Structure 1
């Protein structure tokens, strides 16, 4: 048995409430794997249950095996753990295609290898494939594609919204011919502008600027939309002072100092106004004595701070009313 099958048996045995709590701590990929196993288990015998329970050092004494409730059980758990909307999206993907298998395959490969493999494919095919991956992996792969191909793929990711099962089956064959579609008549969301923006947030600034410059020529409206939605380091300092103060408390002085190396005087002034006078003096001194630094190190520090701000936004600690901003120049 695979790990997903063992997890499915154990969770089906302990019931919906316990499974719901477990699912709340898993990522989407693990939930999809376990849900697929749940839906396909059928009858599970007592010896198999006992074997799984023993392996997980659980004490149990069931009187008989059970028959998997399949889709209905999965739906109830997903809805309780993730909400109706997200549950519907995951179930739709489970029933429409074996695209999760593609994600598993690509997740085991480094970005450069995947980019070399995909670079021979049509930009539309590349877009559909990478749009289903995690944003960080998507950005890494695109960064390794030929320069002339990068903007082409970005445009198509933004345009890809609904994909038919037939197209997904063709793409399955491109990646691994032995994979087959699970069928279904629905289509599901794989891309869109939101996906592009999320992917851009994982690119370094120089790569981001290069692609946006290309998009300015190839598709100006799309470039404008992306810029409006991108949240930059400078955007943090367009927030109100109370929000900035909350953000500053979550950031180390070393990270903040390095991130400010490329900042304007206006940004620096706003930072100093929203931290303690002692911390401000220390950062000013460090900036004065700091020698040349690599642009990539500055961007890394800024990206780290942006991630902290996004997490705070998710937790409701700050409210970001608008997005947008200019590139940072060093």
Structure 2
């Protein structure tokens, strides 16, 4: 199916073609497409639309037929980060593609201010403390109020007070000034955020290894040790296992034991070594410890997999409590010990 002869649309730019199609679709059918555009796309298409003038019916028909023809020839479409980047590299300068892809891979959000509302408060505060207070005031006035509160609280007192005063006096910000601030954020902050917040690979692997049963964990670590002893050693040091619970202080231990199911703990201790068992029993009353020992004996033989699952569930509970600030866990307790 070819476009009607005598009419050419090659001279139309991308935004102009989009503008023609949207005008042809009208408000009812085009509304959903407008919602999918970001602010820059809306601006580009709107400018093109305002400058189109009169478009002949055959030109519109040619454009629609060409569009449908290309779509049907393409077949199913799959979108991904890699395909997006490859396409952009063919039509945009390399630096612009890099900035766009960094934004896509960075914090989630439709526009710059929504992106900033998803950035950790301490990270954003660390960036803003080196900016002009007036700039910081504009930025904090544009993001979510609850997030602005976190950022202000993380700023040094002298800076945060100055920023608050400037926010109180803030009036309408000129469009070009706001665009300069957005461009600064895009080039100096958001584009570098993924690099500054990238997780350590060893920490990630330690968490993955923590989720293995002990046989799988041992198999992977032993294999890794043969080819990269240092990496295996670092992963071991970062892993937090059931045996590491003996490093909990008494208060944290009591909190943990109140938070786990009694039968789950019984199963976990069934397969624990004597040192770990004694530590747990020392944090119970004599009667409770004796009762648990009896229950462990009554369980009879247990599959190693069931023991591993019980221990992993308790470790996960400990990590959740630590994230909430209810207990303190440390892989190396010596870091927290006091020397008199």
Output the TM-score relative to the length of structure 1.
0.45
Say which structure is richer in helix.
2
Which structure has the larger Rg over C-alpha atoms? 2
